[in-house]
Amino acid sequence: MKENYIINGRVVSGEIKKGVEARLKELTGKGITPCLATILVGDNPSSETYIKMKSNACRKIGIKSHKYHLPEESTTEELIDLIGRLNADQNIHGILLQHPVPSQIDERAAFDSINIKKDVDGVTSSGFGRAALEVETYPSCTPAAIMELINHYNLDVEGKHAVVVGRSPILGKPVSSLLLNRNATVTTCHSYTNNLEGILKQADIVIAAVGKPNFIKGDWLKKDAIVIDAGYNKGNIGDVDFESCDGIVKAITPVPGGVGPVTIAMLLKHTVEAAEKQSLKVVSH
């Protein structure tokens, strides 16, 4: 794949972090250190890795990170009780509940118990609605990252046909809304969609968020399509068969090094923004 076809998430992530660092200096000058609380329920190895990556990213930039690890057998009530305590703690500015949680827990109830002012990962129903209606909020970090990549590379969205493959509540559905708000014509596909290949052949922009390694093939795509692969599967493999897209696509995100680094940078940015807003409220009282 030629270098000029690559949408480089590491470059975009670095630029976001520079802006975050400048805002961090201002906050620490006022004696405020932004703090993210991360919650892991159970012992899912992938989730443990993600939490570690997020905590390390916080530490490197100067954001505090407090980890809370509940046992596998925890109940919905126990998890919501912990979230309630973190909501009430003025030293915690953002709360991240790592997905997925064990099956006995009502994940939606847990997500929705997070105070929207601390919902830096954009997982609450209220946050989803506000983002869809273009009311100020923190959108889900991966959809926000996708929009940052589109902005950075000046990719033309208006009037284009965007096909989102996947409809999860923290990726497929919110990114469809964000693209719609940018005047794209959006088709959201999923496991019940008929003739996926035919629909993808019409797409100017493809957002892959299906969670299946190398699922989307290059010969399914329209010539000069833009492909943003938000999939992250075992072995650092995306949802799009990257090599088969060579000579077909206009631009593509690699995995790793595409959407992933920008997703983490957006989490840092949202946490700093939350600290800024919460510190203003504390000062004004």
Characterise 62 by phi-psi region: left (phi > 0), alpha (psi -120 to 50), beta (else): left
Residue 30 falls in the annotated catalytic set: no
Would you say the C-alpha torsion 224, 226, 231, 235 has a positive or negative sign? positive
- Which of 269, 257, 259 is CA-nearest to residue 18? 269
Catalytic residue among 98, 222, 239, 269: 98
Q: Which of 54, 118, 160, 269 does the annotation list as catalytic?
A: 54
- Rounded distance between C-alpha atoms, residue 176 and residue 58, angstroms: 28
Q: For residue 214, give the DSSP letter.
A: T
- Write out the DSSP string of 168-200: -TTTHHHHHHHHHHTT-EEEEE-TT-S-HHHHH
Q: Under the phi-then-psi rule, with left for phi > 0, alpha for psi from -120 to 50, and beta for the rest, what region is 212?
A: beta
Contact (Cβ atoms closer than 8 angstroms) between residue 252 and residue 230: no
Active site residue 98: yes
Please indicate whether residue 81 is annotated as part of the active site. Answer: no
Tokens matching residue 192: 């019940």
Question: Per the residue annotation, which of 17, 118, 119, 121 is the catalytic one?
Answer: 121
Residues 6+ apart with CB under 8 A from 224: 248, 249, 250
The Cα–Cα gap between 207 and 230 comes to: 7
**Catalytic (active-site) positions:** 54, 98, 121
